[in-house]
Structure 1
């Protein structure tokens, strides 16, 4: 558990926080260095694709031994000044792939932007209908439990009819008869003393 927590903390530190600070510094440099800005934009693009992959294939990646550690090493490789793996990954793999499918991706994004309001209304309507149905089912369940609750309250009450309660206390103490709490405690004490 602690190794997993440490890996997550290091991923947040080295995968998100430090690169974000470096990106901030690159943006805020007065004589703007476009090579630094390009590098950090490439890094964030690769990181977003990695996060999307993790979300989609989370069940599969959880079965890979040391996947979190491998991902941490990959993130470190991407931005570390001596390796600068972002340039290699972006230019070799990502850029050719995205350039091939960019027109199709652009068309789908335009469609989503144009219909975003309709999609939002559809999901809100669907959510409210399902939410209302779920609320009604929860109320029915609570009502059914309340009607059964009168029996439950009698079982847990300290007074009430002893015949309605379970006999496991009597079985544990060893007595089958009635009695109050003092005789039950006394019988339990005698039984404990006889065991020695």
Structure 2
């Protein structure tokens, strides 16, 4: 069991070193890309170097990390940790600053939009439409809905029928009476 844990720790240490080197190389490559990208077979050399770092028989990760990166990290470890903490604090300050600004602007725009909608609603309610008489005439031609007991309301009886055909119900069920046939309608095409 102890040997198994030791192997897992060695593998974990290997992969941590590998990914630290990959990150370090990526950062350096971004800075120096203009100067080294024109070299012939640059991509192939980079691929070969990553295979050298990864391949278990060559143990390239341990050699490169122990030779180049470990001495620098051991010498400047406290400074690197302090810089990381400063960057973390700055990032948090920047995030809170921009979050506060965005929330203020969002609230201001929301209130501005709400005031605009309220103004448009008030403007719409204050003035009647230009063709309000036509609108009232059209709305007066719409018959009211039938009453629940099947009788027509007094307003509906006094209303003139429209110029279109209308339907008169004959033998409609009233007060619980059943009709003789399911649908008995009389169509009246008189134009009164």
TM-score (norm 1): 0.44
Structure with more helix by fraction: 1
Structure with more strand by fraction: 2
Q: Which has the higher contact order (CA 8 A, sep 6+)?
A: 1
Query: Could you say which structure has the larger radius of gyration?
Result: 2
